[in-house]
Amino acid sequence: MGLVRGCDIPEDLMYSIDNNVWVRQEADGTATVGMTSYAGSLAGQMVSYTPKKVGREVKKDKSCATMESGKWVGPAKTPVTGEIVAINDAVAARPSLINEDPYGEGWLVRLKPADWDGESGDLKTGAEALAAFEAKMDEDGFGGC
């Protein structure tokens, strides 16, 4: 597990740094998407999660869900284009899971990627992701999780 300013950033996941989301390619070819612990810390306690419907195609860098906390409402943007094949009913029932377990039970959607090989190339992982998040936190003036 990587750590940047107190924020957990697992080094085995891939990240869209600008969108503050992670993605993991699953054995069945689907891709699980979630918000980073950094995003959860910036937004505060999540109170609402409204995902796009299963079967809907979402384009890369477009919203797969609308998120709401006490101080922020906005989109969770998908790091790759794909069809939504699953939404997280546990998060719908308890949005705070996004803050409590962003890389486990707090995932947002699962996609069937349209072009994983073509679109995942600009995602960051490992030490490269940690360095990119450190730079982003500097830009944002972020003190830490």
d(CA 52, CA 54): 7
Q: Which fold has domain 2-116?
A: OB fold (Dihydrolipoamide Acetyltransferase, E2P) (2.40.50)
Q: Helices marked H in 5-125 — which ranges?
A: 37-43, 89-93, 97-100, 116-119
Mean pLDDT of the chain: 96
pLDDT on residue 1: 77
pLDDT of residue 71: 85
pLDDT digits (tens, 9 = 90+) for 93-136: 999 999 999 999 999 999 999 999 999 999 999 999 999 999 99
The pTM of this model reads 0.96
Please state, in angstroms and rounded to a whole number, the distance separating the CA atoms of residues 33 and 119: 14
Q: Where are the domains of the chain?
A: 2-116
Tokens in use for 145?
A: 């999780």
